[in-house]
């Protein structure tokens, strides 16, 4: 984790020559309803704070990514859980419109490992 913004820590800060820094926030997603992965599974003030900070990084000319990792193998789409935390859903949509990239991947799990597998469609 790397400190940034106002009292926050980002999960990853990617840097490369001739590119702006890329701030990556990672969220684990465990809620799936009818093959639709949802986040969050509870009201999250901390998650809201992360969205605000990422939007501010984009406004300052940086790159920002919200990376959702679905910790299950039974989802083929992703959408915010508006029925659980409507404000988070509103802020996530706004962040996307303002340039925060939304990436969603699932995993493959076996007795030896958990591995990032494939992108999942963002459905909002």
Mean pLDDT, the chain, rounded, equals 95
In this prediction the pTM is 0.93
Residues in contact with 74: Cβ distance below 8 Å, sequence separation at least 6, in sequence order: 32, 35
pLDDT of residue 8: 81
Task: Please state, in angstroms and rounded to a whole number, the distance separating the CA atoms of residues 83 and 81.
Answer: 5
Structural domain of 114: 2-122
pLDDT tens-digit map of 50-60:
999 999 999 99
pLDDT tens-digit map of 8-33:
889 999 999 999 999 999 999 999 99
Strand, helix or coil for residue 6: coil
Task: Please state, in angstroms and rounded to a whole number, the distance separating the CA atoms of residues 30 and 73.
Answer: 10
pLDDT of residue 1: 74
Q: Is the predicted pLDDT of residue 121 greater than 90, yes or no?
A: yes
Task: Please state, in angstroms and rounded to a whole number, the distance separating the CA atoms of residues 89 and 80.
Answer: 5
Place of tokens 């039974």: 74
Contact of 9 with 24, CB cutoff 8 Å: no
* Overall average pLDDT of the 84-98 stretch: 98
Give the total number of structural domains in the chain. Answer: 1
pLDDT of residue 39: 98
> Which is more confidently placed, 9 or 124?
124
* Overall average pLDDT of the 79-100 stretch: 98
pLDDT tens-digit map of 30-44:
999 999 999 999 999
């Amino acid at each position: 984790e790397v400190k940034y913004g106002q009292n926050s820590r980002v999960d990853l800060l990617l840097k490369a020559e001739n590119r702006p820094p890329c701030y990556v926030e990672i969220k684990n997603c465990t809620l799936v309803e009818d093959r639709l992965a949802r986040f969050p599974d509870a009201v999250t003030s901390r998650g809201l704070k992360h969205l605000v900070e990422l939007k501010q990084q984009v406004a300052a000319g940086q790159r920002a990514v919200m990376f959702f990792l679905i910790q299950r193998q039974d989802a083929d789409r992703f959408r915010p859980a508006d029925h659980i935390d409507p404000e988070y859903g509103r802020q996530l949509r706004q962040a996307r419109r303002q340039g925060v990239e939304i990436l969603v991947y699932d995993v493959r799990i076996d007795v030896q490992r958990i591995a990032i597998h494939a992108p999942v469609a963002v459905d909002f």
